[in-house]
């Protein structure tokens, strides 16, 4: 049953060749054998104790639907009926599972209600199989963190080389999908936390427009950039999951795209969010597309460049017109403004989340989290500290001029003067670039300090969509190709990514080697 797709599962369930219980038992067995024993990937921080009971209920639901004993209006099963899904441990579930962002400071914290995206998953018939490990506090605690490590969950390992990073912060979600511990998974991103782990673990990741998926019930970093998103082995499954997660009505589209005029234009162009992306799955989807190549992300890692040049050749042969960007995207210029915004919003947003927890919550403010970490330094901070939390704690309210200026500047540089300007000036449908380089070795001494390419910041800061799809390998380590564009362009990006995926079929299943397999006698 390895690497079943959503469509295959639905076909087998409908034909009676498979039950949801059998499917859940299969994944629970793989988690036990591969994640907790065997290579010990450590991607799943907690299995849902009610998963089998949920499976039985969904099987009964299908029997009723077949029999016609239910009212006609109830006879339609959800698009994810019986599909096992893992979700990141910073997403609230009102069940027996803990929501703690991997931190011992929130040990035992049970959410009072499901996150809105979890409500949508349950309504679609998904089995919430468990929660995935992550970089603690979604990589917003120390300045030199170890991606994929949390004080609750320990270290998650890359299935393509167990001594290499799975990137972060949605490490567990990406690794679980790559290792076939679930069908699809949900991650979250502020800047790179879906797209980087998806790239280095050889899976598809979609960071949607900020506002397409509700932020409600997710332990936050920063509301101006935070979003959940799908991770899957295929573009098709990622697109199907995105349609389930997407909200039909965006609460505040202005937060992502800036002005009322922008919203009116997008409504006219029918580019505001939709909840079914299957019509964009077109094998010929690159034909006639005009794509800008962000050359500023080339020339950093030569072997990555080889993979990317081959990917560009595939796109040309598929009918795309490729042009180099005339001006580089603002990237390094964003850094200080983005950091300021994240520090201010982290303090405000985390305090709001923690204050809303029940009376028995172990911590109720960022200040209390910091104090807990210090008191429990040996368990919580054996490898890296909490400098980002300390820097955030001294920030003022969101009315501070320093915050407002940094937010406006960051959005302008990344959006109007960055992605939007490039798309308009060169009449582009999207921009393409290498997502990140191949996975680097874990380093508890220096953390994630490494030299490598990364194109995640412009789309993340602008709040625009970004999809990464497997493109090739460097010594067996996956490398992803990114497509990104303006707000609400998910459909366009899915069309291009799907066409590229089908033209290359570049993804390979992992074999869990202890280290990179180099050619004999080369090192």
Polymer length in residues for the chain:
523
Question: Does residue 168 contact residue 146 with C-beta atoms inside 8 Å?
Answer: no
Rg for the chain, CA atoms, rounded: 22
Say how far apart CA 226 and CA 213 lie, in whole Å: 10
From 103, 169, 214, 224, active-site residue: 169
* Phi/psi-derived region of residue 505, left when phi > 0, alpha when psi is between -120 and 50, beta in every other case: left
Angle of the 335-355 helix axis to the 366-375 helix axis, nearest 10 = 90
From 135, 193, 454, 457, active-site residue: 193
Burial (CB count within 10 angstroms: exposed 0-12, middle 13-18, buried 19+), residue 394: exposed
Say how far apart CA 477 and CA 439 lie, in whole Å: 7
Phi, psi of 6 (to 5 degrees): -60, -45
Number of H helices, E strands in the chain: 19, 13
Tell me if residue 165 is catalytic. Answer: no
Question: Does residue 291 contact residue 321 with C-beta atoms inside 8 Å?
Answer: yes
The contacts of residue 214 (CB under 8 Å, 6+ apart) are 115, 116, 117, 247, 251
State whether residue 186 is helix, strand or coil. Answer: strand
Q: Which of 247, 275, 244 is nearest to 6 (CA)?
A: 244
Say how far apart CA 473 and CA 200 lie, in whole Å: 9
Say how far apart CA 195 and CA 434 lie, in whole Å: 11
State whether residue 184 is helix, strand or coil. Answer: strand
Give the helix, strand, coil percentages of the chain, each rounded to 5.
40, 15, 45
The contacts of residue 69 (CB under 8 Å, 6+ apart) are none
Say how far apart CA 226 and CA 461 lie, in whole Å: 10
Tell me if residue 489 is catalytic. Answer: no
Tell me if residue 88 is catalytic. Answer: yes
Token pair recorded at residue 282: 């077109």
Helix residue ranges per DSSP H, 76-135:
116-123
Question: Does residue 423 contact residue 486 with C-beta atoms inside 8 Å?
Answer: yes
From 88, 131, 395, 411, active-site residue: 88
What distances in angstroms separate CA 489 from CA 111, 205, 219, 286, 423, one per listed residue?
A: 33, 15, 26, 15, 12
Question: Does residue 311 contact residue 435 with C-beta atoms inside 8 Å?
Answer: no
Say how far apart CA 216 and CA 223 lie, in whole Å: 10
Residues designated as active site: 88, 169, 193
């Amino acid at each position: 049953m390895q690497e079943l797709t959503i469509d295959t599962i639905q076909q087998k369930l409908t034909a009676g060749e498979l039950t949801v219980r059998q499917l859940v038992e299969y994944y629970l067995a793989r988690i036990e054998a591969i994640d907790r024993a065997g290579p010990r990937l450590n991607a799943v921080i907690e299995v849902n104790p009610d998963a089998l009971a949920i499976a039985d209920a969904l099987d009964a639901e299908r029997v009723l639907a077949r029999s016609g004993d239910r009212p006609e209006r109830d006879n339609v099963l959800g698009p994810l009926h019986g599909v096992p899904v893992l979700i990141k441990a910073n997403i609230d579930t009102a069940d027996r599972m803990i929501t703690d962002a991997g931190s011992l400071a929130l040990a035992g914290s049970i959410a009072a209600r499901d996150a809105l995206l979890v409500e949508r998953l349950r309504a679609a018939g998904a089995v919430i199989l468990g929660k995935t490990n992550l970089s603690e506090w979604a990589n917003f605690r120390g300045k030199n963190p170890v991606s994929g490590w949390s004080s609750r969950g320990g270290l998650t390992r890359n299935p393509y080389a167990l001594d290499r990073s799975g990137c972060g912060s949605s490490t567990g979600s990406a690794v679980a999908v790559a290792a076939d511990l679930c069908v699809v998974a949900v991650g979250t991103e502020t800047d790179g936390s879906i797209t980087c782990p998806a790239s280095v673990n050889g899976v598809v990741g979609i960071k949607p427009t900020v506002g397409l998926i509700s932020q409600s019930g997710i332990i936050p970093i920063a509301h101006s950039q935070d979003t959940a998103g799908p991770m899957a082995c295929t573009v098709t499954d990622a697109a199907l999951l995105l349609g389930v997660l997407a909200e039909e009505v965006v609460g505040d589209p202005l937060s992502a795209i800036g002005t009322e005029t922008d919203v009116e234009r997008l409504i006219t162009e029918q580019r505001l969010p939709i909840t079914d992306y299957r019509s964009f799955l077109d094998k010929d989807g690159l034909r006639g597309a005009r794509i800008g190549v962000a050359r500023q992300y080339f020339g950093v890692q030569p072997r990555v460049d080889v993979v990317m040049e081959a990917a560009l050749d595939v796109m040309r042969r598929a009918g795309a017109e490729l042009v180099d960007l005339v001006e580089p995207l603002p990237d390094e210029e964003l850094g200080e403004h983005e950091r300021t915004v994240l520090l201010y919003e982290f303090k405000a947003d985390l305090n709001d989340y923690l204050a809303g927890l029940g009376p028995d919550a172990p911590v109720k403010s960022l200040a209390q989290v910091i104090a807990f970490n210090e008191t429990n330094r040996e368990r919580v901070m054996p490898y890296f500290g909490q400098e980002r939390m300390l820097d955030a704690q001294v920030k003022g309210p969101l009315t501070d001029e320093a915050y407002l200026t940094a937010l406006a500047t960051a959005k302008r540089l990344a959006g109007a003067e960055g992605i939007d300007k490039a798309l308009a000036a060169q009449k582009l449908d999207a921009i393409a670039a290498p997502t990140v380089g191949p996975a680097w070795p874990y380093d508890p001494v220096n953390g994630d300090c490494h030299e490598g390419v990364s194109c995640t910041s412009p789309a993340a800061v602008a709040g625009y969509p970004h999809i990464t799809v497997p493109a090739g390998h460097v010594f067996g380590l996956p490398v992803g190709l990114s497509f990104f564009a303006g707000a609400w362009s998910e459909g366009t990006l899915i069309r291009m990514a799907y066409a590229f995926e089908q033209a290359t079929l570049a993804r390979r299943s992992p074999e869990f080697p202890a280290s990179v397999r180099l050619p004999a006698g080369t090192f």
